[in-house]
Amino acid sequence: MSNTRDGFQSRLGFVLASAGSAIGLGNIWGFPTQAANNGGGAFLFVYLVVTLLLALPALYAEIYLGNQTQKNPVSALTYACRDKMPKVGRYAGIIGLCGAIMMLSFYTIVAGWMLAHTLSPIFQFFGQTEAAQWLASSSTWRNIIFTPIFIILGAAIVHQGVHGGIEKWSSRLMPILLLMLFGLIGYILQQDGASEGLALYLIPDFSQITDPELIVSAMGQAFFSLSIGVGGMMVYGSYIEKGRDLGKLVTSIAALDTFIAFIAGLLIIPALFVAQHAGQEVFANNKLIGEGQLIFQILPTLFDSMGSIGLLIATAFFALLSIAALTSTISSTEVPVAFLIEEKKINRQKATLMVSAVVLVGSMTIVAFFDVLFGAVIRVLTTIMQPLMCLFYFIVVGWLWQRGNKLTDSSVLAQNKGLALLGNYLRFVCPVLLTIVFINVAF
Ligand code: PFF
């Protein structure tokens, strides 16, 4: 069975695909916005601490589960819990799978906005002002058209398989994303006002650091950014050969993700100050005037004021966000697709079609009841499902999974001090830390 399973053909392909999953709207939009609102460098500092103490171990646990079992997330969790509570493992896997569908249902809507904004400056360039304006203003019709387009783009990659689709496209798109990001940073940092933004970002305001809300926001941001808790990383981990040097691979994924979030701050926060310098209102009472306004109003107005080069910058900026969203979308799509292929024996093309149809229904339901559902789905996923799934991973890897688990095998641990330390950390420290933070979120 295992030799007929599709998979990544190189370690680099795995790292790029996983980094592609991790690096998304959360890095380029979410992180800089949160940093700007929460003490700049202080947020960065807390984010780094939370990533090291909790998110990195959670990412390790998730990828380890996939890699050791070489199965899709539902089968992996069922297998890992087989001795103690197989049903619980299976239900948890299915909850994770629902998390992936929830993630896709709102993420593809936002990604559709990015696509529309990528096209808007192009229409503007060709003198189609009305169409350009329509593309740049939010409307239900825009959602109804662009969300399915984005779902189709993701499906077009996933249906080509792990090596032929996911690995190939991640390896193409990630370097483009990096080039665009660096190019944009280089341009924005030369504009008047940018240095003020750099100062706010890089000089920490430690007075905000004791705020428990800051720690909670940083944790939510770190989990979302590293794509932990919905099985996307688990399924990718299952596509590399068992027993590869996971510690190094996981650390490089987390390092790339954190680096890009940091670098995106060097673009967005200085850009805000460039906009302010050009006369736009950006902050009120020391807070950004609105997360949505930042990307869809303040920055487009800034690009507009730059003349024709602004059209190019605007297209590049939103194309960057669209690419980041696309590589994130495909990992979540792969979770239910792998489940249907392996457990229900459905072929990949049909499985991709079925998952895309479900995501379409989910996203159109959110579009239909946008005011009620959009924020609620994001909140349930990021503040409840992702942390609880992580807690479950720690419990599985540290306690429930015995046979075939290096991290609970005393004879392996006796010989490998590093692994023993990691095992104990995942077993004792992570669940306690996570519970403390989770209780803070819930109450
Ligand atoms: N990590 C992605 C981001 O930062 O935008 C979001 C994400 C992707 C979350 C994939 C969950 C997931 F499975």
User: Residue 232 Cα, ligand 1 centroid: separation in angstroms?
Assistant: 9
- On whether residue 1 sits in a domain, the answer given is no
Contacts of 394 (CB under 8 A, 6+ apart): 57, 58, 61, 426, 427, 430, 431, 434
Is position 5 within any domain?
Answer: no
- The burial of 261, by beta-carbon neighbours within 10 Å (0-12 exposed, 13-18 middle, 19 or more buried), is given as buried
In a domain, 149, yes or no: yes
How many domains does the chain divide into?
1
Whether the per-residue pLDDT at 181 is higher than 60: the answer is yes
Q: Evaluate whether residue 169 is within a structural domain.
A: yes
User: Is residue 218 scored above 70 in pLDDT?
Assistant: yes
CA of 225 to the centre of ligand 1 (A): 6
Residue 378 tokens, joined: 């994001």
- Stretch 160-173: mean pLDDT, rounded? 97
> Which comes out higher in pLDDT, residue 440 or 252?
252
Domain with 398, as residue range(s), is: 11-442
**Position 442 confidence tier, pLDDT thresholds 50, 70, 90:** low
Which of 227, 253, 257, 295 most suits a substitution to test ligand 1, by most atoms within 8 Å of the C-beta? 227
Q: Could you report the per-residue pLDDT of 44-100, keeping only the tens digit for each? A: 999 999 999 999 999 999 999 999 999 999 999 999 999 989 999 999 999 999 999
CATH of residue 35: 1.10.4160
Residue 4 lies in a domain: no
Q: How far does residue 78's CA lie from ligand 1's centre (Å)? A: 24
Q: Does 6 reside within a domain?
A: no
For ligand 1, is residue 408 a contact (CB within 6 Å)? no
Which long-range contacts link 163-168 to residues 24+ away (Cβ below 8 Å)? Answer: 163/6, 163/7, 163/8, 163/9, 163/13, 165/330, 166/8, 166/17, 166/330, 166/331, 166/334, 167/8, 167/9, 167/10, 167/13, 167/14, 167/16, 167/17
| Residue 153 within any structural domain of the chain | yes
Any ligand 1 atom below 6 A from CB of 34: no
| pLDDT per residue as tens digits for the range 308-329 | 899 999 999 999 999 999 999 9
Residue 20 Cβ inside 6 Å of ligand 1? The answer reads no
pLDDT at 112 > cutoff 70: yes
The values of phi and psi at residue 295, to 5°, are -80, -40
Report how far ligand 1's centroid is from the alpha carbon of 37 (Å): 21
- The pLDDT, as a whole number, for residue 378 is 95
394 in ligand 1 pocket by Cβ < 6 Å? no
Calculated CA dihedral for residues 108, 109, 111, 113, nearest 10 degrees: 160
Pocket of ligand 1 contains residue 55 by CB under 6 Å: no
In a domain, 331, yes or no: yes
Confidence of residue 41 (pLDDT cuts 50, 70, 90): confident
